[in-house]
Structure 1
Amino acid sequence: MARRPLGQLEAEVLAALAAAGGPVSTADLRARIPGEPAYTTINTILFRLHAKHLVTRVRQGRHYLYRLAVDESRLVADRMRDHLRHASDPSSVLSRFVQSLSAEEEDALRAVLRRSGGEPEAPA
């Protein structure tokens, strides 16, 4: 099995927690992540996320149940902004990002830009 890029598994764990909608165990979370990562790997990621205050946990018997402690959309947006801030050419990065969007994602972006005043209304 190919190794994931650094940070990708953490992002997948956060996304799986957001989709779960409630507290989940490490074993349940592991089953939600493609590629069959090791239980200990998921547990390590969860401990790190807990230390960063991105997840909360409650003890249930000998194990913990985990829940996302932050808004997923804000978390992802913050990561995107960090990547742009460190790019030598942010405009080029944004251009490539927009070119990679599906039609539905592009429509959603246009709607957000219209609501925020960043794009003129489309002609009728």
Structure 2
Amino acid sequence: MSRRPLGQLEAEVLAALAGLGGNASTAELVARLDGDPAYTTVNTILHRLHEKKLVSRVRAGRHYRYRLAVDESELVAGRMREHLRHASDPGTVLNRFARSLSAEEARELREFLDRPEGDR
């Protein structure tokens, strides 16, 4: 059974969790997210992410603390590959993506691509 791609809020919660060192409570994540999502909404998202085995959790009193159970970079790269797979013209998508990068991001990408394939 294949998994659906992550929803936008799920992706934002995972990014916020990574930004907090990969270990946070629901309340800490709510404070970190844009748009002032409800505590119960974030809690539901965390429950779903736990069911998908993308986060683990440990009891901390009456609440849980959540930890990333996956590598964030692999997760985001997978989402990017999925978008490219569904594009009618992946080359144009990559072109627009590359043009949207900051100078620093473009430099990092160039350095990575210039490395021998075995060193990537």
TM-score scaled by structure 2? 0.88
**Identical-residue share of aligned pairs (%):** 71
Shift of residue 21, structure 1, vs aligned partner: 1.1
Q: Using CA pairs below 8 Å that are at least 6 residues apart, which structure has the higher relative contact order?
A: 2
Count of residues in correspondence between the two structures: 112
SS at match of 1:65: strand
2:76 is the counterpart of 1:73 = no
What is the RMSD of the two structures over their aligned residues, measured on CA atoms? 1.4
CA distance in 1, matches of 2:23, 2:89: 40
Larger radius of gyration between Structure 1 and Structure 2: 1
Q: C-alpha offsets along residues 18-47 of structure 1, whole Å, 9 cap, x if unaligned?
A: 111142110111111122110011011101
Residues 28-68 of structure 1, C-alpha deviation per residue, up to 9 Å, x if partnerless?
11111122110011011101111111100011121111011
* Equivalent residue, structure 2, for 1:12: 12
Query: Match of 1:37?
Result: 37
Distance 1:30 1:116 in 2: 42
Within 5 Å, give how 1:1-124 maps onto structure 2. Answer: 7-117=7-117
Amino acid at match of 2:32: R
Q: For structure 2, list consecutive stretches of 5 or more residues without a partner in the other structure.
A: 1-5
Query: Which letter maps to 2:89?
Result: D
State the secondary structure of the residue aligned to 2:57: strand
